[in-house]
Amino acid sequence: MIDPVEALESKEIKKLHEIAIEEFRPRGRKYDENADMPEENIKYLFENGWLSTTLPKEMGGKGSNLDTDDPSTYLQALRVLARGCSGTAHCYQVHNHTAWALHDMGTEDQIERYIKPMFDRPFLAAFVGSEAKRRHMYMMNTTATKTDGGYIVRGEKNYATNGPMMGFAIIFTAIKGIEDYMDNHLMVIIEPDMKGVSMDLDWYRPAGMRCASSPVITLNDVHIEDRNVLGEPGTYPKSRLQGKYHLGFTANYLGTAEGMYDWYVDYVGKRGKSSDGIVQMRTGEMKIQLRAAEALFHDAIRAWKTKSVVEAELISIAAKSVAAQVAFELSHKIIHCAGSTAMFDEFPLNRYIRDLETHVLHAGHDRSAQIIGQSEFSEDFDSTLQR
């Protein structure tokens, strides 16, 4: 197994960290102005093989995901990307998770049509489950009605990350007429130019994570052929694949906090504040918190190779929750130590904070703690859930 520390110290991860800080971070303000996709960043990731990180080496990918002997590289890459640009890191995360899922669950025809082109041109894939008024992560309002040769899909999905650069998306639906989500949950593959598919690119205007453009997708009686159905009904919840994505969020929260902290240390040092006793104490507290979050993150990665799936999921939930809490606490301490001028637009601090405040809301941390509590009392729980 490639250990997370070994991966973090590799030449390719160190180079990616350098690019994220020196090139991706300075471009962030420009992307934020109009919530534009980070196209230059995505092009770099494509040209250097990072958009196929989770795909097998024999296809030309880097062969890194939690199911391979390298569970670390794709997560450490995500982490160092977030040090420079949280939004770009999230685009990378969603794309690579989608590629991983489609490769592992797709047919030979689907791999030929959707995975292999990833090596030829830069485009992004999307995994879209989110909906307004969704009752449960696996209970969809978007419906799929069986018809000859496929399904008719109707509904509205939101937070479709990578929408403006989307080559295809895996959409979660519910088969009409079947009540149990373990049997009605259906994944279908759509393309943006299919009849009945439309995107509202102006909808996504959050405070932070603005370059991770995530529009609304409307599906108005879209005909999906059988060849674009991914897996069998219920495949996704039964496969527990959702539980393997906890660490993607963990890596982003931790990396963003580290990028913010490293910038802060340089900033206060150059302004002669490093001899202030209170600043020293707060800085020491922050470093301790970051080291603790990193240790749990690494422990969680290793757990996928040393423990049961459910144990690994629970440790990953804990790592995600700790990384989020540490990121929040650091942002408040940094503001007080660095002072108000540090929040000016010429500096990246306000972007780090806005990205964290927005992105951490994607995972329901009260539910995370509840799931771990349920496991402690031997109650029924589902450790694949994000919220």
What is the pTM for the complete model shown? 0.97
Rounded distance between C-alpha atoms, residue 184 and residue 144, angstroms? 9
- Classified by CATH at the fold level, domain 126-232 comes out as Butyryl-CoA Dehydrogenase, subunit A; domain 2 (2.40.110)
Structure tokens at 272: 């002669």
What is the 8-class DSSP label of residue 360? G
Per DSSP, the three-state class of 172 is strand
pLDDT at 95: 98
Rounded-to-integer distance, Cα 41 and Cα 152, Å: 36
| Amino acid letter, 169 | A
Q: Residue 313's closest CA among 238, 229, 381?
A: 381
- Cα–Cα distance for residue pair 31/210, rounded to 1 Å: 7
Residue 71 tokens read as 């569970």
Tokens read off for 46: 């494509």
Where in the chain do CATH 1.20.140.10 domains reside? 240-376
CATH 1.10.540.10 maps onto the chain at 4-122
Distance CA 146, CA 104 (A): 25
Instruction: Say how far apart CA 115 and CA 102 lie, in whole Å.
Output: 8
Cross-strand pairs, 144: 153, 175
Residue 217 buriedness (CB in 10 A; 0-12 / 13-18 / 19+): buried
The residue type at 146? K
Dist CA 235 CA 183 (whole Å): 8
Predicted pLDDT of residue 295: 98
Q: Which of 1.10.540.10, 3.40.50.2000, 2.20.28.120, 1.20.120.1200 is the CATH number of 4-122?
A: 1.10.540.10
H-state helical runs in the chain: 4-8, 11-19, 25-33, 39-47, 73-84, 86-105, 108-110, 181-184, 235-239, 246-270, 277-306, 309-338, 349-359, 365-376
- Residues lower than pLDDT 70 in the chain: none
Q: In the prediction, which pLDDT does 133 show?
A: 84
8 Å CB contact between 84 and 72: no
The pLDDT of residue 232? 96
The predicted pLDDT at position 135 comes to 80
**Alpha-carbon distance values, 81 to 52, 55, 97, 99, 343 (Å):** 15, 19, 16, 19, 22
Q: Which CATH number fits domain 240-376: 1.10.260.40, 1.20.140.10, 3.30.1490.190, 1.10.10.10?
A: 1.20.140.10
Q: How far apart are CA 30 and CA 20, in angstroms?
A: 15
